[in-house]
Amino acid sequence: MINVAVKAARAAGAIINRAALDVESVRVSQKQVNDFVTEVDQASEQMIIETLLGAYPGHAIWAEESGREHGAKDSEFTWIIDPLDGTTNFIHGLPIYCVSIALAVRGKVEQAVIYDPSRNDLFTATKGRGSYMNNRRIRVAKRTRLQECLISTGFPYRVDDNVNHYLRMMGDMMTRTAGLRRPGAAALDLAYVAAGFTDGFFELGLQPWDVAAGSLLITEAGGLVGNLSGDADFLEQRECLAANPRIYGQMVNVLGKYSKFAGAGDKAAVRAAVSELAAAASPDTAGDDAQSDADAPF
């Protein structure tokens, strides 16, 4: 199964690389504000689906662009696909994007492939057999102090994202780490944590196809992945945190209060802090921002 997934990812990567040679000619449409899809996303997804179903016609498909339209509807095997993670980077010519393919068996991810076509880097993992980058075994970083760590994240970009809430999270992390990075492709961010290039990752608003493959890479490389509260059953909860076990615990201590699963006291404290931040940033609209924060699910 992992070999078929690798074949699908490389075929999709070839489509992406050809398009990258003349990215300005690629047709782009907008699913919603700042959420783009290109003909390359769609062609890549079609190639992946055809390759996977050619080998396993009885399997189910869950893909970013076509949802559950293809494949079987009642299989215990489900391929979770992001055909081009980092589309905004791609359409600007910034070579930080990837193909992400995971196989979930009865809801648990057991196979994972993340392929970076611009660098020809291939990350793979099979449950119980470790994580690999270009056929070399990888492990999460060994740092034990958060203040020495390089942490990756993703910034809000949707209209309905609570930006002030995120700024508060980012501020808490910036003061406790060696640095934050925002590359722009969550699946690749998780692969880099698995490889030890960065020490941890956190982001809100992610979909299962953004994190499914990366989550297995992390755990098979000796790390932990879950929601901001530290719960490992996170795949459809739209919040993700990953790191080695020592750093994971320290990140949960900092970010857990921002989780939608945090206790009432923590949520109230966060709302107060966010309202204060909004007031400082824009005194004329502080009341509106405070009301917006109060209505938010955090």
CATH code of the domain containing 86: 3.30.540.10
The yes-or-no verdict on residue 143 having pLDDT over 70 is yes
Q: How many domains does the chain fold into?
A: 3
Let me know whether 55 and 112 are in one domain. yes
Give the residue from 110, 138, 166 where a domain finishes. 138
Q: What are phi and psi of 101, to 5 degrees?
A: -135, 130
**Residue predicted with more confidence, 284 or 31:** 31
For the stretch 199-258, pLDDT in tens is 999 999 999 999 999 999 999 999 999 999 999 989 999 999 999 999 999 999 999 999
Give the residue from 83, 110, 138 where a domain finishes. 138
Give the residue from 89, 111, 138 where a domain finishes. 138
Let me know whether 8 and 128 are in one domain. yes
DSSP characters for the chain? -HHHHHHHHHHHHHHHHHHHTTGGGS-EEEEETTEEEEHHHHHHHHHHHHHHHHH-TTSEEEETTTBT-SB-SS-SEEEEEEEEETHHHHHTT----EEEEEEEETTEEEEEEEEETTTTEEEEEETTS-EEETTEEE-------GGG-EEEE----STTS-HHHHHHHHHHHHTTSSEEE--S-HHHHHHHHHHTSSSEEEEES--HHHHHHHHHHHHHTT-EEE-TT--S--TTSSEEEEE-HHHHHHHHHHHGGGSTTS-HHHHHHHHHHHHHHHHHH-GGGHHHHHHHHHHS--
Let me know whether 22 and 131 are in one domain. yes
Let me know whether 6 and 133 are in one domain. yes
Let me know whether 104 and 177 are in one domain. no
Residue 261: per-residue pLDDT? 87
Let me know whether 128 and 230 are in one domain. no
Let me know whether 90 and 53 are in one domain. yes
The yes-or-no verdict on residue 292 having pLDDT over 50 is no
Let me know whether 71 and 195 are in one domain. no
Please state the rounded mean pLDDT for residues 69-73. Answer: 95
Let me know whether 163 and 53 are in one domain. no
CATH, residue 249:
3.40.190.80
Residue 27: per-residue pLDDT? 82
The yes-or-no verdict on residue 175 having pLDDT over 90 is yes
Let me know whether 119 and 70 are in one domain. yes
The yes-or-no verdict on residue 297 having pLDDT over 60 is no
Domain that holds residue 277: 264-295
Does the pTM surpass 0.85? The reply is yes
Residue 163: per-residue pLDDT? 83
- Residue linked to tokens 């196979």: 111
Let me know whether 80 and 107 are in one domain. yes
For the stretch 45-63, pLDDT in tens is 999 999 999 999 999 999 9
Q: Residue 248: which of 179, 131, 108, 146 has the closest Cα?
A: 146
Let me know whether 132 and 59 are in one domain. yes
